[in-house]
């Protein structure tokens, strides 16, 4: 059948196309998060990007933090950014790379503004102007190939593996067939199922990168003397028994196309098609990595229910659990429980999910956007960050 192949989005100076038109209010250090929140709450059309840390970091830890915030500021969904920090250097470090994409950026330090009240006023004044300017831009037709879709699962149970993940995987395949990009991530969620991705790798280099990523995690877990597992209590209560079972179910959400490259946390894809990102699995930090990589939209598959969304990338919640779609109806965007009820095939339910994806790209708000159930958590770079 012929599916919709285009959406209406916001064309950016760097050639990318957004599905939202946000002014990002970015806090470069967590000690000024309240100022960024206050500014964002005061100005329509803005979104707060506030995370922990941003100070006392070195090396790759700092680089990963900064790359993620810069990624939010340069997301196709971002029209401009206001960067706030306690002192000037950290604000400038985030703001300058955003400015290089041609977006309007304003940065300042709370120390120089004269405290948080004056900083809040300064932030509101510049954000107001930026948001008013952003509102002058209209949506224009764009091919679906401009989309980067992040796929994630959380609150997984057995239904994730037999319904919502396979339906998400079908949509992922269709987007790749439309020359779009799909980011599959969650490094520990592939352990036990990695051979299928490796067999499907587009090159020997990609296969080796996937294999060495998994081996390194397993090796380090043994050295530290703990069991590497992706299973948590709600997974086990839901009927998942081993990490292999969860992984094989989880991999289904990326679809069946060859893996084109392996990315680091919040790194932008350089290739079209299915790509793999080496990022931790827990939902909030994973969708932060996806948003930071420039995904305009995320499909988040859930079994027992996970309600969180990414502030910059609308997050579509899909569940195939007949209980969850009723009990958590406030938080679920797409119901694919028809698969378990025997009313629809996986492909039939995936058509509904694809329709929702295009609608959200065209401006339909997700439940987590409407309710403000969004959060930013940037993973820290350290030995113990295994999941």
Q: Which residues bind another protein (CB under 8 A)?
A: 157-159, 161-162, 191-193, 218, 221-222, 225-229, 236, 238-245, 248-249, 303, 321, 323, 340-342
Of 12 and 253, which has the nearer Cβ to another protein?
253
Please, what is the minimum distance in Å from the beta carbon of residue 287 to another protein?
24
Instruction: Supply the minimum distance, in Å, between the C-beta of residue 386 and another protein.
Output: 9
Name residues whose C-beta falls within 8 Å of residue 319's C-beta, 6 or more positions apart in sequence.
159, 164, 301, 302, 303, 305, 325, 328, 332, 334, 335, 336, 337
Among residues 141 and 239, whose Cβ is nearest to another protein? Answer: 239
Are the C-beta atoms of 252 and 153 separated by less than 8 Å?
no
Minimal distance, residue 274 CB to another protein, in Å = 19
Nearer of residues 63 and 248 to another protein, judged by Cβ: 248
CB 387 → another protein: shortest distance, Å? 11
Report in angstroms the alpha-carbon separations of 343 from 151, 331, 339, 347, 348: 25, 23, 6, 12, 9
Closer to another protein at the Cβ: 215 or 271? 215
Q: What is the DSSP letter of 187?
A: G
Q: For another protein, which is the closer residue by CB, 303 or 314?
A: 303
Residue with tokens 């969620």: 189
Shortest Å, Cβ 9 to another protein: 37
Q: What is the dihedral of CA 230, 236, 241, 242, to 10 degrees?
A: 10
Residue closer to another protein by CB (options 234, 373) is: 234
Angle at CA 263, nearest 5°, toward 261 and 267?
130
* Backbone CA torsion sign across 280, 283, 285, 289: positive
| 3-class SS of residue 244 | helix
> Token pair of 302, please?
């859930």
Q: Which is nearer to another protein, 163 or 277 (CB)?
A: 163
**Residue whose CB is less far from another protein, 56 or 223:** 223
| Minimum gap (Å) between residue 338 Cβ and another protein | 11
CA 239 – CA 250 distance, rounded (Å): 14
E runs forming strands in 110-199: 140-143, 148-154, 181-184
Query: Least distance from C-beta 158 to another protein, angstroms?
Result: 4
CB of 82 to another protein, least distance (A): 44
For residues 95 and 81, give the distance between their C-alpha atoms in angstroms, rounded to a whole number: 8
User: Are the CB atoms for 379 and 292 separated by under 8 Å?
Assistant: no
Residue 91: both structure tokens together: 């604000």
Which residue blocks in 135-203 are alpha helix, DSSP H?
158-159, 165-177, 194-199
């Amino acid at each position: 059948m012929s599916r919709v192949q285009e959406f209406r989005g916001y064309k950016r100076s760097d050639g990318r196309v957004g599905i939202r038109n946000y002014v990002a209010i970015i806090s470069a250090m967590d000690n000024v998060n309240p100022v960024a929140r206050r500014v964002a709450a005061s100005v329509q059309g803005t979104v707060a990007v506030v995370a922990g840390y941003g100070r006392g970091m070195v090396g790759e830890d700092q680089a990963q933090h900064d790359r993620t915030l810069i990624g939010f500021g340069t997301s196709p969904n971002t029209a401009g950014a206001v960067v706030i920090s306690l002192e000037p250097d950290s604000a400038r470090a985030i703001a300058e790379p955003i400015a290089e994409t041609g977006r309007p950026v304003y940065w300042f330090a709370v120390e120089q503004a004269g405290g948080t009240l004056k900083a809040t006023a300064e932030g509101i004044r510049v954000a107001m102007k930026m948001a008013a300017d952003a509102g002058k831009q209209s949506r224009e037709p764009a091919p679906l190939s401009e989309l980067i879709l992040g796929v994630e699962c959380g609150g997984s149970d057995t239904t994730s593996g037999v319904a919502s993940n396979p339906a998400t995987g079908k949509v992922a395949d269709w987007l790749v067939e439309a020359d779009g990009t799909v980011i599959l991530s969650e490094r520990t969620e592939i352990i036990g199922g990695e051979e299928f991705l490796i067999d499907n790798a587009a090159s020997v280099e990609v296969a080796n990168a996937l294999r060495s990523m998994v081996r390194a995690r397993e090796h380090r877990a043994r050295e530290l003397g703990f069991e590497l597992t992706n299973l948590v209590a709600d997974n086990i209560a839901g009927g998942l028994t081993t990490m292999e079972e969860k992984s094989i179910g989880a991999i289904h959400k990326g679809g069946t196309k060859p893996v084109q490259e392996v990315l680091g946390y919040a790194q932008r894809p350089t290739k079209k098609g299915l790509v793999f990102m080496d990022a931790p699995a827990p939902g909030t930090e994973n969708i932060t990595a996806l948003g930071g990589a420039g995904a305009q939209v995320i499909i988040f598959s859930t079994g027992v229910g996970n309600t969180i969304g990414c502030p910059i990338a609308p997050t579509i919640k899909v569940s195939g659990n007949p209980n969850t779609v009723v009990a958590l109806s406030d938080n679920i965007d797409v119901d694919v429980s028809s698969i378990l009820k025997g009313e629809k095939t996986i492909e039939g339910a995936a058509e509904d999910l694809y329709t929702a994806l295009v609608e959200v790209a065209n401006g339909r708000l997700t439940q987590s956007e409407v309710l403000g159930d969004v959060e930013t958590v940037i993973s820290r770079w350290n030995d113990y960050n295994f999941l």
